[in-house]
Amino acid sequence: MINVRTLQERFEDGDTVSAATLGERGLLNKKYEPVKLLGDGELSKKLTVQVDAVSGSARQKIEAAGGTVQLEKLSARQKRGRAGASGGSQAGESQESA
């Protein structure tokens, strides 16, 4: 689980946040754990966020900052196995949680 506060601290305006970019920054504890974004903290950067699940408050903060949320359809294991995937992810809206 990652909070929007962490995105504010570790990403730049315009960045894409995904399992790959979170892993590159050392923010994932377990290689195959699904990534859920929570709403603790503030966010002022416009980000494209591609995660497995997102809380309602996190989605509101991302969208209020001009960013977008794309929920991943691939399993966590499949996602981590993609070598340097960028821009070609599949997105859906099936796992949003409050």
Query: Residue 10 sits in a domain of what CATH number?
Result: 3.100.10.10
Q: What is the tally of structural domains in the chain?
A: 1
Q: Classify residue 49: in a domain, yes or no.
A: yes
Tell whether the model's pLDDT for residue 7 goes beyond 70: yes
Instruction: Give SS3 for 87.
Output: coil
Q: What value does the CA radius of gyration of the chain take, rounded to a whole number of Å?
A: 12
Quick one: pLDDT at residue 72? 82
Q: Classify residue 11: in a domain, yes or no.
A: yes
The token duo for 71 is 């929920």
Per-residue pLDDT tens over the stretch 21-64: 999 999 988 777 789 999 999 999 999 999 999 999 999 999 99
pTM of full prediction above 0.85: no
